[in-house]
Amino acid sequence: MKPVILTAALAFATAAHAEAPITTAYEGSFDDAAFAVETAIVGQGLVIDYVSHVGEMLNRTGEDVGSDVMIFKEADIFLFCSAVVSREVMEADPMNIAHCPYGIFVAEDADGAVTIGYRDYPDGPMEKVEALLAEIVKEATEN
């Protein structure tokens, strides 16, 4: 019975540790925000590995899973890595591989509000990743 209690405690501790994403409101359209984020990522000399069209998937599959709720009008996640920052954080702790690739999302909710954001990473070496993401979002929202 003790392993069950330990497993439940670890699951709760992991869920309790999860932080809310770091978000910034965007004054403009979803398309403008997505373009600004893409431009800011590429402007850092980074390559976007993949764009996940989460909003399209949710809208397409809602009926299939028995829901008529529109969560997002549109939502994309831009996935990328930085060789420099990734090497630095993984040299500090190879298990930081769990956080790669990094993602910045752009979402327009059902009310038309556009938000740009990213995950909150653990304290320590991963703060360098957060600083990079913050810099990209700042550039995207200020231009």
pLDDT in tens, 3-37: 444 444 444 444 445 589 999 999 999 999 999 99
Report the Cα 32 to chain-centroid distance in Å: 18
Distance between CA atoms of 42 and 143, rounded to whole angstroms?
14
At 6 the pLDDT is: 42
Q: The whole model's pTM is what?
A: 0.84
**Per residue in 81-123, pLDDT tens?**
999 999 999 999 999 999 999 999 999 999 999 999 999 999 9
pLDDT computed for residue 19 by the predictor: 80
Number of Cβ within a 10 Å radius of residue 1: 5
